[in-house]
Amino acid sequence: MSDSMMKSGAFRGLRLTNTLTRTKEDFVPIDPQNVRMYVCGPTVYDFAHIGNARPAIVFDVLFRLLRHVYGADAVTYVRNLTDLDDKINARALRDFPDLPLNEAIRRVTEKTANQYQADVKALGCLEPTVEPRATEFVQPRADGRADMITLILSLIERGHAYEAQGEVLFDTGSMEDYGQLSKRNLDEQQAGARVEVEAHKKSPGDFVLWKASSAEEPGWYSPWGRGRPGWHIECSAMASAYLGEVFDIHGGGLDLIFPHHENEIAQSRCAHGTDVMANYWMHNGFLQVEGQKMSKSLGNFFTIQELLATENFGGRKWPGEVLRLAMLMTHYREPIDFSVRKLEEAENTLRKWKRAADGAGEAEAEVPAGLVAALSDDLATSSVFQGMSQLAGEAAGNVDAAASLKAALLFLGFGLDAAEVDESEVAKFIAERLAFIAAKNWAEADRIRDELLAQGVQLKDGKDPVSGERVTTWEVKR
């Protein structure tokens, strides 16, 4: 995608891959003046891991694109915080027994929720329009917005839920097309709930809407006694509270298709009597770390905060925008192998782009039309980045190309400050180069010099006036 193509790419409307139909479809909003998107956020029991970073970044890009196409004030983006969890509830009751449950939970999750906000900000993500907490939607609200208990009552009244041994369960057999998102037969379903389910269900696939709490367990008061909600009902309540009974886009990770999103659809449709919950369902692919599934037992489980603030991954800290680019270099629907090598590649690429964009000076440009056109094809970031690299190659002495690149960087959530140089990394490369020179491996020595130069670091060789040994210094080339 050359400079001219980046400028002249024709926007023909958005096309998104819809998990519900397994096809790429033209995106037609219900109301172009009020485009609505819901994305499942993290459970704030602990700090968010790098897998949580991927949907935050992917749907931030979609949010930016929708704002560009339809107008900043015409898009409502809801991303929830799940603070309903048996472990959170138990900790709240233990640590703050004299406080109302919601307030106690807020105390328990305040640090982790605030850290998540800081993490995604460091990753370059815009704030969503609304970021509700699940605990705020358990019981009927003073403002009349949807809540979990009211939705469960509606499901019972409509014949889609039943009480059994202190629980309320969704009756999957009452819904003819249950399972259409995951394409599973009803016989294959397993109950997916945050709480343990006993064998008192009409069907093995029936799942918990409300679970009774013992005297020793935390809980909320409801028409079925003191208890707490199942997992899936929270997102049905929060989505309808802010976006209505039917909205445009629902997003999240591939791992949420079943059971969470499947059960969200069942609850919402049956409670409201609608044909769909959301018209388009989008899911980002799985994430591995250095070729393996992320797991604490394998020692490759990392939080976003660890990558940003510690040297636990690759022996160094990583800027948020480097993590952002590394995530976007792989198409959002594909699995991603998160590795030190990928981060280094992203960092080098970002340095080249920023250095080239510096050539724009104070000049400004519109967001390249070709970028918008490429992103509009199911967020085709690889095409976007190819075009940006070509712009960077054309930017020397070309203010228009540099300005277009600058506009592209800003649009995608990357800052324009010059990329910081990691002095310890430069020192390491210099030591490696000197070792190659001592071994008369000139090809490898030149390779390191050229790679550093591509990153904006220029090496200067000289001699120590006392020992006569080679001394290498460096400077940042602007």
* Residues in binding site for Zn(2+): 40, 235, 260, 264
N- to C-terminal Cα distance for the chain? 26
- Return the number of other C-beta atoms located less than 10 Å from residue 249's C-beta: 24
Per the CB < 8 A criterion, the answer to whether 210 and 152 are in contact is: yes
Closest CA to 195 of 182, 180, 203, 207: 207
Contacts of 163 (CB under 8 A, 6+ apart): 156, 169, 224
Residues at the binding site are 40, 235, 260, 264, 296
Determine which helix (DSSP H) or strand (DSSP E) holds 190, and give its type and residue range: none
Q: Residue 270 and residue 151: Cα distance in Å, rounded?
A: 9
Per the CB < 8 A criterion, the answer to whether 370 and 413 are in contact is: no
Closest CA to 86 of 40, 41, 45, 138: 45
Kind of pairing between the strands at 470-476 and 457-463: antiparallel
Phi, psi dihedral angles at 455 (to 5 degrees): -90, 0
Determine which helix (DSSP H) or strand (DSSP E) holds 260, and give its type and residue range: none
Determine which helix (DSSP H) or strand (DSSP E) holds 93, and give its type and residue range: helix 86-95
Residues at the binding site for ATP are 296
- The sign one gets for the Cα dihedral 153, 159, 162, 168 is negative
Task: Tell me the C-alpha to C-alpha distance, in Å, between residue 258 and each of 19, 262, 380, 458.
Answer: 12, 5, 26, 52
Q: What are 221's two structure tokens?
A: 């008061």
